[in-house]
Amino acid sequence: MHQSYLEMKKQFHTLLLLFISSLMLSQQKIHTVLAKETLYGLSKKYNVSIDDLKKVNPQLNNRTLQIGEILTIPDEKATSKANEYSNSNAITNIQNSDDAQNINYFFITIEPKQTLYGLSKKYHTSIKTIQSLNPNMSKEGPKIGEVLKIPKNSSSENSNTYSHVYSENKHDKENSNINDSNSKEEINVKDKRESDLANDTKLQNSKNENFENQNNQEIDDLNKKQSDENVQIPVAKNQTENIANYELKKDGINVVLFLPLHTGESSINAERRIATQFYSGAKTALDSLSNKGKKIHVRIFDTSNDNKFREIIDTYDFSNTNLIIGPLFKSNLLTIADKIKKIPIISPFSSSDDLDEHGNLILYNTKDQILVEKLTDEILKKYSGEKMYILYDEEHFKTAEFLQSLIKDKKSNAEVVLTKNADDIKSDQNLVTDEYNKIYAILISTQNSIITKYLDSITKLESNQIQPISLFYSPLFDNKKYEEKLLNFGLLYLDTNYVNEFGFNEQKMINLYKKKYCNFPDKYAITGFDVTYDILSRVDEKGNLSNSMMKAESKQVSNKYSFRKINKNGAWVNQEARIIQLLK
């Protein structure tokens, strides 16, 4: 049978590209990346272009160099000759001719180290689709220089979905059961505190870029751990069957995770850093729960592109999803909460009042209202008629008013003074005994300038004259200038991010994290662990959340959690916080 002109052109094209590839692969060198080396430096050292380095090391198209990485260096002369051929009109004309005659697909030429999985991810299509369009391709995968058809409705951008199944027997059992022991909650003696500020400093001093690369590589590798059938994610319901969801509904807990990962971008911005840190903590929790026998199916969506995020919400079939963790930021949370009404949606950070009316939202960040209620109960345990000063900033005026009203409701004779001026806080002298009456000095502010004035003011007094109390923790409490005085006073404050590094559960989580990432977990990583571990510990084997499980109290690494409805049909809010008192 005579071959068509088009088939002959394709064969010629393939042979030509094989010849080009053989030129580029001949006499290649190997280079191990050292500290501080760059692609630019290597291109100058070996007299090859950065583009040629990326052609034979395609992983460098999506990330930077990693220390210890082994690179292939193309031979200078062969590369020059290959470029001469690749720029010829013959290839360009064949490509354009094929493209013009086939409106449903386009052609690509296989480069070194490309795989079917990688192509399906890069062009946002399925392995089966590529195989059906290229029936002559080897079952072992495409060969270097081979020309493949790719459907034109696919995208050359990085996929914004990832998938993985967590199940038992995948990890070393000795690392399981992080939260098995029930450590007693207490009003703390002054342990050596590693504050969030210290944690952030440690993170900044670590190799941040390597951490980002490791984390992003893990996310990219999630799909590889599933079968080919589970890799395909539909863009819209009417385009293709969602085989992955069909598999997920058989058993286990189905979780969707929304994170602004900014995949495919080389720069590291604030959103991406928060997301990758959060994911690293969540991954540690998922591994631990997996070791304990929980089977969890996780689907990750990149929410950094608003248009794609809305497209996901409109087109993805959430019918088999048991839980949604994220998005991390309020605007996206409101978007998804308005669209999806029946699936529990976990908010790790946002707890503002405009989220309260969504009955399926679970707010993990303890609201100021709840903190005030807990603080009021704690203050009144030992209250015996002392005068109270509440120092506040403009942002927390309503919170200060709420605290004043709660105290007055329970102790109608209490004298409670609201002030924005720290100098107003003074101990009253008893005119009969000449002794000073003890006062309560309550701080409701997160502004360092006001906190400093508060601390400067109260530390002029003696310990028998004042009881300092704060609604929030501040790193300034650990400042050497104030530390001794605050210990003598017995400063009392609430904290939702306290990590006791000497606690059994805390040490276990931190050690697991450091073993995996070679870093101390920062506050976002710890939140990722706490939120993921806690909510997945509350669901039953079918992925359901009962009211009794929501109300049960649990203690994680940085906070305690139990939930109540903010109103009859409103969101679930965390009603816990650690109450900490500094004592010698």
Helix axes 270-291, 523-538, angle to 10 degrees: 40
Question: Which residue did the predictor score with more confidence, 319 or 44?
Answer: 319
Could you tell me the CA-to-CA distances from 8 to 35, 92, 147, 241 in Å, in that order? Answer: 49, 16, 13, 36
Q: Specify the DSSP class assigned to residue 436.
A: B
pLDDT at 210: 52
Q: For residue 429, is it within any domain?
A: yes
Range of the domain at 57: 5-151
Find the mean pLDDT for residues 360-379. Answer: 94
Q: Which of 56-70, 360-374, 469-483 has the lowest mean pLDDT?
A: 56-70
Q: Identify whether residues 265 and 403 lie together within a single domain.
A: no
pLDDT at 224: 42
- Answer whether residue 211 shows pLDDT above 70: no
Q: Which of 10-19, 415-424, 460-469 has the lowest mean pLDDT?
A: 10-19
Percent of the chain at pLDDT > 70 equals 71
Q: Which of 84-93, 159-168, 372-381, 547-556 has the lowest mean pLDDT?
A: 84-93
Q: Identify whether residues 344 and 441 lie together within a single domain.
A: no
pLDDT at 532: 96
pLDDT band at 371 (very low <50, low <70, confident <90, very high): very high
Report the C-alpha gap between 492 and 383 in whole angstroms.
14
Residue where one domain finishes, among candidates 445, 460, 495: 495
Expressed in angstroms, the distance from the first to the final Cα of the chain is 95
- Classify each residue of 282-316 as buried b or exposed e, where b means 16 or more C-beta atoms within 10 Å of its C-beta: bbbbbbbbbbeebebbbbbbbbbeeebbeebbeeb
Q: Identify whether residues 277 and 377 lie together within a single domain.
A: no
Can you list the pairs that 136-144 forms with residues at least 24 positions away whose Cβ atoms lie under 8 Å? 141/115, 141/116, 142/110, 142/114, 142/115, 142/116, 143/110, 144/18, 144/21, 144/25, 144/110, 144/111, 144/112
Can you list the pairs that 266-269 forms with residues at least 24 positions away whose Cβ atoms lie under 8 Å? 266/63, 266/64, 268/208, 268/209, 268/212
Q: Identify whether residues 381 and 354 lie together within a single domain.
A: no
Residue keyed to tokens 């994680």? 556
Q: Identify whether residues 352 and 434 lie together within a single domain.
A: no
pLDDT at 14: 54
Q: Could you report the per-residue pLDDT of 118-135, keeping only the tens digit for each?
A: 888 777 777 888 888 888
Question: Do residues 550 and 573 touch, judged by C-beta distance below 8 A?
Answer: no
Question: Which residue did the predictor score with more confidence, 105 or 574?
Answer: 574
pLDDT band at 74 (very low <50, low <70, confident <90, very high): confident
Q: Identify whether residues 72 and 96 lie together within a single domain.
A: yes
Task: Report the domain count for the chain.
Answer: 3
Question: Which residue did the predictor score with more confidence, 82 or 335?
Answer: 335
Strand order in the sheet with 387-392: 416-419, 387-392, 439-444, 466-470, 492-495, 578-581
Around 74, how many Cα atoms within 13 Å sit in the side-chain half-sphere? Answer: 27
Q: Identify whether residues 406 and 335 lie together within a single domain.
A: no
Q: Where is 119: in which H helix or E strand?
A: helix 116-122
Q: For residue 145, is it within any domain?
A: yes
pLDDT at 502: 81
Q: For residue 284, is it within any domain?
A: yes
Find the mean pLDDT for residues 545-574. Answer: 93
Q: Could you report the per-residue pLDDT of 425-483, keeping only the tens digit for each?
A: 988 877 666 778 899 999 999 999 999 999 999 999 988 899 999 999 999 999 999 99
Q: For residue 533, is it within any domain?
A: yes
Q: Where is 9: in which H helix or E strand?
A: helix 5-25
Q: For residue 490, is it within any domain?
A: yes
Cα dihedral 74, 76, 80, 83, rounded to 10, equals 20
Find the mean pLDDT for residues 23-51. Answer: 73
The CATH number linked to 377 is 3.40.50.2300
Question: Which residue did the predictor score with more confidence, 510 or 57?
Answer: 510
- Answer whether residue 194 shows pLDDT above 60: no
Percent of the chain at pLDDT > 90 equals 38
- Answer whether residue 239 shows pLDDT above 60: no
Question: Do residues 362 and 563 touch, judged by C-beta distance below 8 A?
Answer: yes
Residue where one domain finishes, among candidates 466, 495, 524: 495
> Which residues make Cβ contacts (< 8 Å) with residue 33, sequence separation at least 6?
65, 66, 67, 68, 69, 70, 71
> Which residues make Cβ contacts (< 8 Å) with residue 570, sequence separation at least 6?
356, 357, 358, 359
pLDDT at 199: 42
Q: Could you report the per-residue pLDDT of 291-311, keeping only the tens digit for each?
A: 888 889 999 999 988 888 888
Report the C-alpha gap between 584 and 581 in whole angstroms.
10
pLDDT at 254: 92
Q: Identify whether residues 241 and 95 lie together within a single domain.
A: no
Q: Identify whether residues 391 and 412 lie together within a single domain.
A: yes
Distance of CA 335 to the CA centre of its chain: 19
The CATH number linked to 78 is 3.10.350.10
Q: For residue 81, is it within any domain?
A: yes
pLDDT at 248: 44
Q: Identify whether residues 332 and 384 lie together within a single domain.
A: no
pLDDT band at 212 (very low <50, low <70, confident <90, very high): low
pLDDT at 38: 78
Of the candidates 234, 240, 248, the one whose C-alpha atom is nearest the C-alpha of residue 301 is 234
Residue where one domain finishes, among candidates 151, 169, 201: 151
Q: For residue 226, is it within any domain?
A: no
Q: Identify whether residues 347 and 399 lie together within a single domain.
A: no
Could you tell me the CA-to-CA distances from 17 to 26, 49, 73, 79, 137 in Å, in that order? Answer: 14, 19, 19, 13, 16
Q: For residue 87, is it within any domain?
A: yes
Q: Identify whether residues 291 and 387 lie together within a single domain.
A: no
- Rank 25-29, 161-165, 166-170, 287-291 by mean pLDDT and report only the highest: 287-291
Predicted TM-score of the model (pTM): 0.62
